[in-house]
Amino acid sequence: MDTKFSNKPVNLSLWRGVAIVSGVFAILICAMVIVNYLQINKVDPVNTEVINTLVERLNENPNDAQLREQIREMDLLVRKAFFTNQWEVRTGAYLLLLSIIVMIIAMQVMKMGKKNLPSVDEDYQQNIIQYQKNARKWVSIGGSVLIVVTLILAFVTHKDLGTRFTDAAKVAKAETVASEVKATPEAEQEAAKPVVAEKKDVEKLEELKASEPEVKKETKAEVIEKPVETKAVASIKKYKGEYPTKEMMANFPSFRGPGGNGIGYQKNVPTEWDGVSGKNIKWKVETALHAYNSPVVWGDKLFLSGADANQKQVYCYDKNSGKLLWTADVKDIAGSSAAPEVTPDTGHAAASVSTDGKSVFAIFSNGDLIALDMKGKQVWSKNLGVPDNHYGHSSSLVVFEDKLIVQYDHKKSGKVMALSTKTGDQIWSTDRKVKVSWASPVIVKNGGRVEVILAADPCVASYDAQTGEELWKLDCITGEVGPSVAYANGIVFALNEYASLVAIKTGAQPEVLWEAYDYLSDVPSPIATDKYLFVVTSYGLIACYDALSGELYWEHEFDNGFYASPILVDDKIYLLDRAGSMHIFKADKEFVSVATSNLGEKSDSTPAFADGHIYIRAGKNLYCIGK
């Protein structure tokens, strides 16, 4: 039936249909949200009990690799279910509001477009009108109550899921950390301490403040709220050179590029290739010994290491042709011992090698460290001692000037040291009161100094690269830390699974700019620019934050998880998933995909970039990709 409204025809049947459909849709959404709420309260979607039971079993059998992998897989499934459920709740609430708005608009159009009713008996007409008013009144009240209840339940469900997931994470983290500490009376006393600043620490800080009258004194409560430890840095000399150097930027000398910060300084890098058809695959060669470490490049040479329980090797390839130039066997090192037990996802050569263009340096699970010249001849070697952990040494190496920087954090005596690249002699060594870590050092020029920045439970700490003196330290991280930090514009970003994401403003008095808890990583490292921070999770989700404020700009979920770390190259981020697909997208505040290219082989290694080419270690093969 057509009529007139504002001199234009109004199709009342159409708008009546729109109102009915939107109303029915709103009722269905309400029902789904309510059912979802009841289901979540009946069944634990986070599987807290199951995960914690598995963690307890792992604490009793820390060398059970199969159980550890089972926990990883369970964690992956739980996280996917969690974020899917969160998305469904949010989307349901938005759709409900949208359907209500559409229904209201449709009803208003119908009301204004209806013709006047013909004259009938006045009393009868009044009764009809009153009946319609009452019906509309109770339908409106009932519908409003239903909508309000649904929105409240959606909010409660969303919040409850987050709380359950956070609580589960905290419990799992506590169980995991507890399994790493020996059951001694001292350890039990330490574990029983509350997570606040100790009285003696507060007194030390107060004594320090008393000796500096020009600094405004803080109350004891303020001291406890700011778990910051600093050291005097007046003796630190200003660094006048450049880091990374132009030579380093022209190459790819370390894990995650120059200084280990996840930045590649290359141009004209390909975005499309296919491993199956061979499109843009320049060469592919098989490696002798399997490992998860990543390739590094200097000049025309590419370096890798490999190892198993019986042998250790370093390889040099021609980066243009893939030809194996030499293989160096690592053996007969003074003080060396048998390879420790390791987990399948680390192996005996998890740490990537590093080079300064004069020598190449490699370290293995048992602490064997070797320096080779560019022709494969041994320059020096030494053993740092078998690390006291359950997977062997895994932190990668990085070079600063004539110093090889080694992060050697384990249960007995964590430390960071600088060894002479020429002789292997110790130049400086700084003890660290930290727990097991397999993150790698990151070296950056921050103002007038070059800092070595490390992450390990319980702190993120910075050391002068020239002297090893501690510059600053902030207690803000827990657990077995896997991801390395990211740095940009005077801000350090650190995170770990079952902990938090922390943005730290560096300086003599470091401070936390912001924290986030939604998206955390246990393997891939984050990457930062002056404007943005990109966080990659092992379960397949990536998130972009405002680097200064912590505002979440976007999140995007992929089908496969990630172990490789992202690399920023030419304003694009290259991110390799575990199935061998490279996801390339713009480093911007909106997710814009550039391309997805498939290697056709699984990989957990971070790619290297040099001279417009990409080098990827996948399975037992090494690939070169170029236009």
pLDDT digits (tens, 9 = 90+) for 143-167: 676 667 666 766 666 555 555 554 5
Phi, psi of 247 (to 5 degrees): -65, -45
pLDDT digits (tens, 9 = 90+) for 457-483: 999 999 999 999 999 999 999 999 999
Distance CA 412, CA 339 (A): 18
**What is the distance in angstroms between the CA of the first residue and the CA of the last residue of the chain?**
64
Q: What's the average model confidence in pLDDT over 23-46?
A: 70
Which pLDDT score, from 0 to 100, does residue 288 have?
92
Which pLDDT score, from 0 to 100, does residue 202 have?
39
Phi, psi of 432 (to 5 degrees): -130, 130
Residue 132 pLDDT greater than 60, yes or no: no
588 versus 207: which is more confidently predicted?
A: 588
Which pLDDT score, from 0 to 100, does residue 2 have?
47
Q: What is the pTM of this model?
A: 0.67
Residue 255 pLDDT greater than 50, yes or no: yes
Which pLDDT score, from 0 to 100, does residue 11 have?
72
Per mean pLDDT, which range of 126-135, 184-193, 279-288 is the poorest?
184-193
133 band by pLDDT with thresholds 50, 70 and 90:
low
Which pLDDT score, from 0 to 100, does residue 416 have?
97
10 band by pLDDT with thresholds 50, 70 and 90:
low
Distance CA 379, CA 588 (A): 45
DSSP letters for 288-325: SS------EEETTEEEEEEE-SS-EEEEEEETTT--EE
Total residue length of the chain = 627
DSSP letters for 537-568: -TTSEEEEEETTT--EEEEEE-SS---SPPEE
- Residue 252 is given by DSSP the state B
Residue 539 pLDDT greater than 80, yes or no: yes
User: Could you tell me the two tokens for 248?
Assistant: 């380093």
510 versus 112: which is more confidently predicted?
A: 510
Residue linked to tokens 């208003």: 108
Distance CA 627, CA 251 (A): 18
Distance CA 133, CA 407 (A): 76
Per mean pLDDT, which range of 194-203, 251-260, 438-447, 599-608 is the poorest?
194-203
106 CB-near residues (< 8 Å, 6+ apart)? 15, 16, 18, 19, 22
Which helix (H) or strand (E) segment holds residue 93: the answer is helix 65-113
- Residue 481 is given by DSSP the state B
Which helix (H) or strand (E) segment holds residue 137: the answer is helix 122-180
Nearest to 304 by CA among 380, 369, 361: 361
- Residue 16 is given by DSSP the state H
Residue linked to tokens 């390791």: 342
Which pLDDT score, from 0 to 100, does residue 102 have?
81
Which pLDDT score, from 0 to 100, does residue 17 have?
82
Which pLDDT score, from 0 to 100, does residue 203 have?
46
Which pLDDT score, from 0 to 100, does residue 104 have?
82
Per mean pLDDT, which range of 225-229, 474-478, 551-555, 621-625 is the poorest?
225-229
User: Could you tell me the two tokens for 358?
Assistant: 């004069």
Which pLDDT score, from 0 to 100, does residue 388 have?
86
For 517, other C-beta atoms within 10 Å of its C-beta total 13
Which pLDDT score, from 0 to 100, does residue 136 have?
59
Which pLDDT score, from 0 to 100, does residue 16 have?
79
243 CB-near residues (< 8 Å, 6+ apart)? 259, 400, 443, 444, 445, 450
For 397, other C-beta atoms within 10 Å of its C-beta total 26
Over pLDDT 70: what percentage of the chain? 70
Q: What's the average model confidence in pLDDT over 231-241?
A: 64
Residue 117 pLDDT greater than 70, yes or no: no
Residue 82 pLDDT greater than 80, yes or no: no
Which pLDDT score, from 0 to 100, does residue 212 have?
41
180 band by pLDDT with thresholds 50, 70 and 90:
very low
Give Rg (Cα) of the chain: 30
Which pLDDT score, from 0 to 100, does residue 411 have?
82
3-state SS, residue 401: coil
For 616, other C-beta atoms within 10 Å of its C-beta total 26
521 CB-near residues (< 8 Å, 6+ apart)? 482, 483, 495, 496, 497, 535, 536, 537, 538
Which pLDDT score, from 0 to 100, does residue 100 have?
79
User: Could you tell me the two tokens for 91?
Assistant: 């989307």
Over pLDDT 90: what percentage of the chain? 56
- Burial (CB < 10 A; 0-12, 13-18, 19+), residue 50, is middle
Q: What's the average model confidence in pLDDT over 480-494?
A: 96
- Residue 258 is given by DSSP the state G
Which pLDDT score, from 0 to 100, does residue 313 have?
98
Identity at 483, one-letter amino acid code: P
pLDDT digits (tens, 9 = 90+) for 318-372: 999 999 999 999 999 999 988 888 888 889 999 999 999 999 999 999 999 999 9
- Whether 219 and 246 have beta carbons less than 8 Å apart is answered as no
Nearest to 176 by CA among 291, 332, 77, 57: 57
Per mean pLDDT, which range of 15-19, 54-58, 180-184 is the poorest?
180-184
Which pLDDT score, from 0 to 100, does residue 81 have?
60
Distance CA 483, CA 439 (A): 5
pLDDT digits (tens, 9 = 90+) for 366-420: 999 999 999 999 999 999 999 888 788 999 999 999 999 999 998 878 999 999 9
278 versus 50: which is more confidently predicted?
A: 278
Which pLDDT score, from 0 to 100, does residue 150 have?
66
DSSP letters for 351-390: SPPEE-SSEEEEE-TTSEEEEEETTS-EEEEEE----SSS
Residue 129 pLDDT greater than 90, yes or no: no
Identity at 125, one-letter amino acid code: Q
Residue 534 pLDDT greater than 90, yes or no: yes
Nearest to 199 by CA among 182, 218, 217, 224: 224
200 band by pLDDT with thresholds 50, 70 and 90:
very low
Q: What's the average model confidence in pLDDT over 200-226?
A: 39
User: Could you tell me the two tokens for 500?
Assistant: 């938090």
Nearest to 352 by CA among 417, 438, 479: 438
Cα 333-328-377 angle, rounded to 5 deg:
80
Please give, one letter per residue, the 3-state secondary structure of 417-457.
EEEECCCCCEEEEEEECCCCECCCCEEEEECCEEEEEEEEC
pLDDT digits (tens, 9 = 90+) for 546-575: 999 999 999 999 999 999 999 999 999 999
What average pLDDT does the chain have?
A: 81
- Burial (CB < 10 A; 0-12, 13-18, 19+), residue 411, is middle
- Residue 279 is given by DSSP the state B
Identity at 154, one-letter amino acid code: A
Per mean pLDDT, which range of 192-206, 478-492, 567-581 is the poorest?
192-206
- Burial (CB < 10 A; 0-12, 13-18, 19+), residue 165, is buried
